[in-house]
Amino acid sequence: MLPLFAMTAVAGALVGRAVWRSAGLSGRAGALIVAPAGLLGPLITMVPLESCTFEPERGLMDNAVGTVAFAGGAAVAIAAVAWIGRALSSPGGLGNLDSGGDSGTYRHRPLMPWLLLVPTLTILAVFLYWPLVETFRLSTHLVRRGAPREPFVCVDNYTALLGPSLEWWFVVPAAALLVAAVAAHVARRHARPGLDDTANRLARLRGALVVLTVVAATASVFGPGYRPVFVTTLILTSGTVLIGLAVGLGIALLVSQPIRGRSIYRTLLVWPYAISPPIAGILFFVIFDPLTGIAGHIWETLTPWEMPNYRTDATLARVVVIVASIWKTLGFTILFYIAGLQNVSTQMLEAAQMDGANAWQRFRHFILPSLTPITFFLIVTNVTYAFFQVFGTIAYLTGGGPSGATTDAMTSIIEVSTGNIGDGAAGSLVLFAMVLAVTAWQFRATGRRVHYGA
């Protein structure tokens, strides 16, 4: 393990040097400050694991998980120390909060902000950070309800979820990404006035293929037992977020028109958000019940065919769960889009109309860019809801069936926790990592397209 510690220490020194130099500070000082974080950071994960992943009898999968945990601990420590050190050392940072003696200005001690944050940090430590640490501890043990002992199992609860394999649905998008990247590079090098659009299209295609390849690669890492859960989670999340945003924006545009009674319509459209996910599941269970459901009665009245049973059709079951989840979050989406539409400049729209822009052009080039801050916020919140809250609807609507077709990550965590809480803890940390990755990608990819102001 000594080479790994040396590598993380060097990485910490390089990061510290780069961060300090970008802030106009001494790069050597930054390297000396952050390098110990790279050396000691891996202990965050290696001490609880007792370095078991690198024992001689452990397999390749255990070594891989241990390496990821080792690098993760180092990355967290390096990032934290680099941020704190830069904040304390840079001019105007947390370490230089005095006003400088100008008359009439407010002066306070540098530690005062931290003292004011103590109550909040204490609450976060007790109710957020400590449960996270305890979840990590449980994920390395075999924990059965009522059992007097909790034997240490290293990372077996994690490796049970994994089973890397090279599948065609990973090879195809990866090969397409390589071709698109080469084509985009060639088009950019030989750009001509008539080929600019081609280069831009290839760049957008490459971005889409990157996302598809990363998703396929992640799915190929999981074993056959957890891979369907991962795919189901992606399907339900994508359907809930993308369709929900489109429907919510469309309804918000309609109710923002100058029509009589629009305040009543807005109230009626928003109230479903106050309903809990389990209640939404019960409501749609009653609506789509194959024997006594309202939807089935209307279907058979208007058509000569019998309504399909969502409890035996995997695709239909997922559609029903997505519809129920969209209905649950629709009021929240509509509310924020209505608020955003009220801030769109009417003068700008009128000027565009006078210049000959039709309704679609005004919507695409003026309304949508003005709504990007709202859309970005709704994407983040709705993705979080889809990952963590839809299981309440699933529990009462489909129970995860048929044959696990609607078993998402949270539903799987709850199911496996009944036998071994350690399995559930490992699954919850894997889900947490996925949500962090998706959120980081959203901030990086979508955040750059957000436009504030008219």
* DSSP character string of 244-273: HHHHHHHHHHHHTSS-TTHHHHHHHHHGGG
Predicted confidence band of residue 308 (pLDDT cuts 50, 70, 90) = confident
Predicted confidence band of residue 99 (pLDDT cuts 50, 70, 90) = very low
Angstrom distance (rounded) from CA 285 to CA 392: 13
Predicted confidence band of residue 131 (pLDDT cuts 50, 70, 90) = very high
Lowest mean pLDDT segment, chosen from 77-91, 102-116, 249-263? 102-116
- Alpha carbon separation from 313 to 296, 307, 405 (Å, rounded): 15, 11, 9
**CATH superfamily of the 223-449 domain:** MetI-like (1.10.3720.10)
Tell me the pLDDT tens digit for each residue of 417-451.
Answer: 888 899 999 999 999 988 888 888 878 776 666 66
* Buried b or exposed e, range 246-282, using 16+ CB within 10 angstroms: eebbebbeebbeeeeeeeeebeebbebeeeebeebbb
Angstrom distance (rounded) from CA 103 to CA 96: 18
Lowest mean pLDDT segment, chosen from 232-236, 296-300, 374-378? 296-300
Q: Residue 441 has what pLDDT?
A: 82
Question: Is pLDDT of 367 > 50?
Answer: yes
Angstrom distance (rounded) from CA 124 to CA 162: 32
Predicted confidence band of residue 96 (pLDDT cuts 50, 70, 90) = low
Location of structure tokens 């970008």: 22
| Cβ within 8 Å of residue 288, ≥6 positions away | 295, 296, 310, 320
Query: Which phi and psi angles does 58 have, rounded to 5°?
Result: -80, 150
> 116 or 447: which carries more pLDDT confidence?
116
Neighbours of 351 (CB within 10 A): 12
As a three-state string, the secondary structure of 156-202 is HHHHCCECCCCCHHHHHHHHHHHHHHHHHHHHHHCCCCCCHHHHHHH
Token pair listed for 141? 């043990």
Amino acid, single-letter form, for residue 413 = I
Rg for the chain, CA atoms, rounded: 27
Predicted confidence band of residue 205 (pLDDT cuts 50, 70, 90) = confident
Amino acid, single-letter form, for residue 407 = T
Location of structure tokens 């890397």: 164
Question: Is pLDDT of 312 > 60?
Answer: yes
Angstrom distance (rounded) from CA 23 to CA 357: 46
Q: Residue 235 has what pLDDT?
A: 95
% of the chain surpassing 90 pLDDT: 36
Q: How many residues does the chain have?
A: 454
Q: What is the pTM of this model?
A: 0.85
329, 244 contact by CB (below 8 A): yes
**What sign results for the dihedral spanned by CA atoms 374, 364, 444, 173?**
positive
Amino acid, single-letter form, for residue 422 = G
Location of structure tokens 């539903």: 411
Angstrom distance (rounded) from CA 66 to CA 48: 12
Angstrom distance (rounded) from CA 370 to CA 349: 11
Where in the chain do CATH 1.10.3720.10 domains reside?
Answer: 223-449
Location of structure tokens 């998703």: 215
Tell me the pLDDT tens digit for each residue of 226-237.
Answer: 999 999 999 999
